[in-house]
Amino acid sequence: MSAMPTPATDALEALSRRLSAVEGAMGVLSWDRMVMMPTGGGDARAEQAATLGVIAHELLTAPKIDDLLTAAEGEPLTGWRAANLRELRRRHAHATAVPSSLVEAMSRASAKSETAWRAARAASDYSLAREPLAEIVRLTRETASAKAAALGLDPYAALLDQYEPGGSVPRIDRLFAELEAALPPIHEAVLERQARDGDPVMPSGPFPVAQQRALAREIMTTLGFDFDHGRLDETLHPFCGGVPDDVRVTTRFSENGFVSGVMGVIHETGHALYERGLPVEWRGQPVGDARGMVLHESQSLLMEMQACRSPAFLAHLSGKAKVAFGGDGAAWQPDNLRRIYTRVERGFIRVEADEITYPLHVILRTRLERALLSGDLAVADLPAAWNEGMRTLLGVTPPDDARGCLQDIHWYDGAIGYFPTYTLGALAAAQLFGAAVASDPAIPEALGSGDFTRLLAWLRPNVHQRASSDSTDAILEAATGSPLGTEAFLAHLKRRYLDG
């Protein structure tokens, strides 16, 4: 139960609803920019985004807010209202650390840089995005320095806190060091096993996009996606956006194959299910937002990697794919599809990487973004540093910028400090899925028949409906009995790739 609202909490909750509406509009406009806006609308959209960004910032930094927070903190609030107040104070601290002029400049620069990135990626020419990215890095350094001073954190930790509240850089370093030591031997052992077993048979195409889209929608419905409160579209870089009552899932399809497109949809649907599962009664309040990107990524990777690459679900998917594309023969058999979806290789592209090499992609990006922030790496030198890191960590060198430093949108869109959450999310996904199956051993069999209701019945109360009522650590420990670690993830890799 929560104490009754006071005039101060009433005012803060009303402000939060207005702020949530503005930020929701920004989210839908951002989706439109990345999915369907004509290229000529870029400058106008940049101005719209900058204006709304300033409005949101000024709502959260108005002089009266600090007085209202202080008054509310003197009241005996409990339950969700106490958690809501904590979240408001954290958001207020972040907002007041930077002036509106810097927020406006960053919003405008991000919109312009993202547009430049699209052209650069299409042309595989980093020079087209270099100067806009340099401006992003310059403004990010200013933002990080201001927030570090206000929050008592180092600059990178201050940026990380935007995406993962309370995220610990020393813990990231420790967990990443454990993974960097453990993954290469597993990787080599799996590659040796695959060489002995031979290659899986790839289904022959083409695979018309219309049929892939229809299959993707069917799978989304199977997972529990509600098309009355969301939609599926196509874009250059898959993402999930919008708001909980209007969730926008995007993917990309290639007529040369359906394997990547289907799993991309499943990944983004995991994000969407989390958003739709947030408590309706907390809508518009900070406590009702997703906890942070570690848990968000855990939900997408739990669906994509843990549940939907399981032998049980892949047997179900093989039947659906055969019907969708009129497939027949060995290539369409469940075991062959399992071998395709658990294929390990040294690839260039993060979003297409297997479970074993994916963390190494993230470790590289984390190192590079920290070096860009500190000034140890010049923006002009990013392609060379990227290629060298890929050679060292993954044993491959990208042949061009599109498959190198231009493949991800994050930095060009102003999101620096985000990348570690991908791999932390993979660790959390392994723990959460293991805990779900331990709680309900019938879950794997249900997945084999396309029934996700048992899995969602566990995720809703243990993750989704907790929203931001507690820290990531507290939510994870309550659900799994353990703090975030590498043990469950590494055990999962060995079971799936070496013991099976």
Instruction: Give dist(CA 422, CA 359) in Å, integer.
Output: 8
Q: Which run of H or E residues covers position 249?
A: strand 246-251
Residue 237 has a pLDDT of: 78
Q: Which run of H or E residues covers position 241?
A: strand 240-243
Instruction: Give dist(CA 153, CA 418) in Å, integer.
Output: 16
Pairing outcome for strands 246-251 and 230-234? parallel
Instruction: Give dist(CA 418, CA 409) in Å, integer.
Output: 11
Mean pLDDT of the chain: 95
| Tokens 């994509």 sit on residue | 304
Higher pLDDT, 100 or 500: 100
- Can you read off the two tokens belonging to residue 275? 């958003």
Pairing outcome for strands 230-234 and 240-243? unpaired
The gap from C-alpha 314 to its chain's centroid, in whole angstroms, comes to 23
Residue from 93, 100, 171, 224 nearest 476 by CA: 171
Beta bridge partners of 234: 251
Residue from 489, 428, 441 nearest 186 by CA: 489
Q: Is the pLDDT of residue 500 over 70?
A: no
Instruction: Give dist(CA 350, CA 347) in Å, integer.
Output: 8
**Per residue in 285-325, pLDDT tens?**
999 999 999 999 999 999 999 999 999 999 999 999 999 99
**Could you tell me the residue ranges of all domains in the chain?**
7-152, 170-499
Hey, which residues are catalytic here?
A: 268
Dihedral (Cα; 496, 190, 424, 276), 10-degree rounding: -50
Residue 406 has a pLDDT of: 97
Share above pLDDT 70 across residues of the chain, in percent, rounded to a whole number: 99
Residue 1 has a pLDDT of: 45
Beta bridge partners of 248: 231, 241
SS3 70: helix
Q: Which run of H or E residues covers position 250?
A: strand 246-251
DSSP H helical segments within 62-199, as ranges? 63-73, 79-96, 100-123, 127-151, 155-163, 169-197
Instruction: Give dist(CA 23, CA 284) in Å, integer.
Output: 10
Residue 39 has a pLDDT of: 86
Q: Which run of H or E residues covers position 83?
A: helix 79-96
The CATH number of 170-499, from 1.10.3470.10, 1.10.1370.30, 3.30.70.330, 1.10.10.2840, is 1.10.1370.30
At 236, the pLDDT band (50, 70, 90 cuts) reads confident
Dihedral (Cα; 427, 429, 433, 436), 10-degree rounding: 110
Residue from 103, 89, 110 nearest 58 by CA: 103
- Can you read off the two tokens belonging to residue 94? 């972040």
Amino acid found at 296: H
109-113, 165-169, 233-237: least confidently modelled range: 233-237
In this structure, the number of other CB atoms found within 10 A of the CB of residue 401 comes to 22
pTM of the model: 0.92
**Per residue in 101-157, pLDDT tens?**
998 899 899 989 999 999 999 999 999 999 999 999 999 999 999 999 999 999 999
Q: How far apart are the first and last CA of the chain?
A: 48
